[in-house]
Amino acid sequence: MEKKQQIYEGKAKKVYATDDPALLIVSYKDDATAFNGLKKGTIVGKGVINNRMSNALMCLLEQRGVPTHYVREIGERDTVVKKVTIVPLEVIVRNISAGSFAKRYGTEEGIVFDSPTVEFSYKNDALGDPLINAYHAVALKLATREEIETIKTYAFRINEILKEFWLSCGVTLVDFKLEFGRLLDGTIVLADEISPDTCRLWDTATGKKLDKDRFRRDLGGVEDAYQEIMGRLEAGLGR
Ligand code: ADP
Ligand code: UDP
């Protein structure tokens, strides 16, 4: 399968058409952004790591019964995916307080919740991805009530699967962002990516951050952290 015309260039990936109208090729870049594009940089090797990690985790989810857009990895940065219409919601699941949650509610980071939470942001760069509730999402026709229920069910199931997997790698899954999409027949599937760009991953033993917060917060050792988390993933998969 070959890339045809580029149909989109985002902050972290390029998206190409293919000969098959139902399939796309996504190509992962080393570009990194934070704070709605205000901070820009490069994380050398990130595209290769995010591509492989996202694909491995989506395979794991498929094996556990969660439908995803993943089809086939065709290069170190390139993957064939099912084309979907993205539901314009960022679905954020949290196990531990961090980031915007800690800031918004004035709590410290690292408070372990009794049960996970879910929230939605309206995926709209011009508005700065504002927090939105399910009623507002339905009112804005971003998704139906049924779709939102399906998305929440998948999001919590994905959390259980990924939390357990990362724990077996000595890594604590703090929070993460998901995007879902509709196939042509309306079926909801997990799309976009699952990577250190979209998850907070802390070394369970030391608490060391092994994710994009090293870039966002200028903590240093960004590339090393991406390599480290990839090594943990591969060890966890027994590769
Ligand atoms: P952004 O658009 O936020 O800058 P990316 O650089 O990751 O993000 O660009 C990838 C784009 O492709 C995103 O807008 C994402 O919603 C979209 N996308 C991800 N998976 C699919 C898919 N299977 N079908 C169609 N679009 C997708
Ligand atoms: N996240 C993401 N894309 C976004 C916003 C958040 O991938 O546009 C991820 C982020 O990496 C973290 C989780 O979602 O794992 C929760 O992020 P939060 O709301 O705390 O926002 P942040 O402080 O990262 O801006």
Ligand 1 atom at shortest distance from the alpha carbon of 123: 3
pTM metric for this prediction = 0.97
pLDDT 10s digits, 103-118: 999 999 999 999 999 9
Q: What is the Å distance from ligand 1's center to 84 Cα?
A: 10
Long-range contacts of 24-28 (CB under 8 A, 24+ apart): 24/80, 24/81, 24/82, 24/83, 25/1, 25/74, 25/78, 25/79, 25/80, 25/81, 26/78, 26/79, 26/81, 26/193, 27/3, 27/75, 27/77, 27/78, 28/54, 28/77, 28/78, 28/79, 28/193
Q: What is the Å distance from ligand 1's center to 10 Cα?
A: 7
Query: Domains in the chain, please, with CATH?
Result: 6-82 (3.30.200.20), 85-221 (3.30.470.20)
Residue 146's SS3 state is helix
Measured over all CA atoms, what is the biggest interatomic distance in the chain, rounded to whole angstroms? 50
pLDDT 10s digits, 67-101: 999 999 999 999 999 999 999 999 999 999 999 99
Token pair in block for residue 209: 């951050």
> Which residues share a beta bridge with 41?
32
Q: What is the Å distance from ligand 1's center to 131 Cα?
A: 19
Q: What is the Å distance from ligand 1's center to 114 Cα?
A: 32
Which residue's C-alpha comes closest to atom 5 of ligand 1? 10
Measured distance CA(109)–CA(118) in Å, rounded: 17
95 lines ligand 2 (CB under 6 A): no
From first CA to last CA, the distance across the chain in angstroms is 26
Measured distance CA(173)–CA(214) in Å, rounded: 16
Which residue's C-alpha comes closest to atom 2 of ligand 1? 10
Measured distance CA(93)–CA(116) in Å, rounded: 7
pLDDT 10s digits, 175-218: 999 999 999 999 999 999 999 999 999 999 999 999 999 999 99
